[in-house]
Amino acid sequence: MTKSKISLKNILLGALLGVLVLVVSFSWQLYRTQLALNAGAPLDPYAITVSLGYTQPLPREIKLDADKVLLGRKLFNDPRLSADNSISCASCHSLDKGGADGRVHAIGINGAEGVINTPTVLNSGFNFAQFWDGRAATLEEQIEGPINNPKEMGSNWGQITDKLKQDSDYRSAFSKLYRADISAENIKDAIATFERSLVTPDSPFDRYLQGDNSAMSEQAQRGYELFQSYGCIACHQGVNLGGNMFEKMGLMGDYFEARGNLTEADLGRFNVTHKEEARYEFKVPGLRNVALTAPYFHDGSVATLPDAVAVMVRYQLGRTMPQQDLDDIVQFLNSLTGELGGQAQ
């Protein structure tokens, strides 16, 4: 056998091996994902996607302790978690508003205005980190932020546990579920369990991925193809179509120069790592239910979904887009609205 034939054989064997590794790796990641779903744990961001950008439907069910979910829901809606008993988690993460609040910035106790747009709580258990700057690794850790922030709930765990211990229903529930007294750790565990239950499957896109070609309109299907071919899927992929990586805001153009009035919040992940390469980086938001969560971006600066797509095309892709393509992509994004608790969002 000549050297050239041996070389060609090695190339073909290498290519075949690469394909086999990809298939085995993807199968293993799917298995790991199912384990995470069954455990109700935060998901590995790459567990249901490969580098090609494929995604999967949201799961219809996640195995969670039903009693903890109920307790967490009660706590999530309890204004006693705030210093003046005026706002709850649900005040800024309304399930009637796509898991957000519809404001540019959240409003906390005493009418204090926050500095950043409220991210949706829906499907947040699929995010690889919490907050726009990713400073919290888990939902449990994330809860510390609004509880202690003077512009949000402005409270502390001593105040909260003292108030809740006066409630006989809470005392009974915590004793039954945790075999312990009411504590910060148990409160966070219950709320995070409830938040992990806030999954919105059965969107038209989910049904389309499951093989129902009639679930999405032809325009939405064209939009999905354009979403991929323009490169949007490079950042918005995985089961949540985002939430699994950081990216610079203004990758292909200076978004902040065009907008003006730079704030500390605009520094993004730089505020966490203090590394120059993290300046203006943010967690890529998941696009599930995006039609419900205006205004858009970390600064809440864009009021409509078509305008948000146009901004992304300009500053993240560095491209121009015909109006018809933009309209088609918006129709695709509208198809990402799912259902929560059997109720259409």
- Give domain status of residue 61, yes or no: no
Residues 68-79 have a mean pLDDT of 99
- Tell me: pLDDT of 293 over 60: yes
- Tell me: pLDDT of 264 over 80: yes
Residues 46-69 have a mean pLDDT of 73
pLDDT tens per residue, range 19-52: 333 333 333 334 333 433 443 443 333 333 333 4
Query: Is residue 235 a known part of a binding site?
Result: yes
The residue segments making up the domain with residue 293 are 204-339
Catalytically annotated residue among 113, 140, 144, 152: 152
How would you classify residue 300: left for phi > 0, otherwise alpha for psi between -120 and 50, otherwise beta? left
- What span, in angstroms and rounded, lies between the C-alpha atoms of 315 and 334? 22
Do residues 330 and 210 share a domain? yes
- Domain boundary residue, one of 167, 196, 225: 196
Q: What is the mean pLDDT of the chain?
A: 88
Instruction: Report percent pLDDT > 70 for the chain.
Output: 83
Do residues 118 and 239 share a domain? no
Query: Is residue 93 a known part of a binding site?
Result: yes
Do residues 253 and 176 share a domain? no
Query: Is residue 298 a known part of a binding site?
Result: no
CB 326 within 8 A of CB 310: yes
CATH classification at residue 217 = 1.10.760.10
The answer to whether residue 152 is catalytic is yes
- What span, in angstroms and rounded, lies between the C-alpha atoms of 174 and 249? 43
For residue 107, give the 3-state DSSP assignment. strand
- The confidence score (pLDDT) of residue 20 equals 35
- Tell me: pLDDT of 195 over 50: yes
Do residues 142 and 72 share a domain? yes
- Tell me: pLDDT of 196 over 50: yes
Query: Is residue 245 a known part of a binding site?
Result: no
pLDDT tens per residue, range 141-161: 999 999 999 999 999 999 999
Instruction: State the CB neighbour count (10 A cutoff) for residue 88.
Output: 18
pLDDT tens per residue, range 225-261: 999 999 999 999 999 999 999 999 999 999 999 999 9
- The confidence score (pLDDT) of residue 4 equals 46
DSSP-assigned states of every residue in 237-302:
-TTTTSSS-EEETTTTS-HHHHH----GGGGBTHHHH--GGGTTEEEPPP-TTGGGS-SBTTTT-B
**Count of domains observed in the chain:** 2
Do residues 95 and 213 share a domain? no
- Give domain status of residue 259, yes or no: yes
- The confidence score (pLDDT) of residue 109 equals 98
- In the numeric block, the tokens 């797509």 are attached to 309
- Give domain status of residue 158, yes or no: yes
Instruction: State the CB neighbour count (10 A cutoff) for residue 171.
Output: 14
- Domain boundary residue, one of 139, 172, 196: 196
Q: How confident is the model at residue 341 (pLDDT cuts 50, 70, 90)?
A: confident
- Domain boundary residue, one of 156, 171, 196: 196
Do residues 86 and 134 share a domain? yes
Cis peptide before 146 (omega within 30 of 0): no
pLDDT tens per residue, range 96-140: 999 999 999 999 999 999 999 999 999 999 999 999 999 999 999
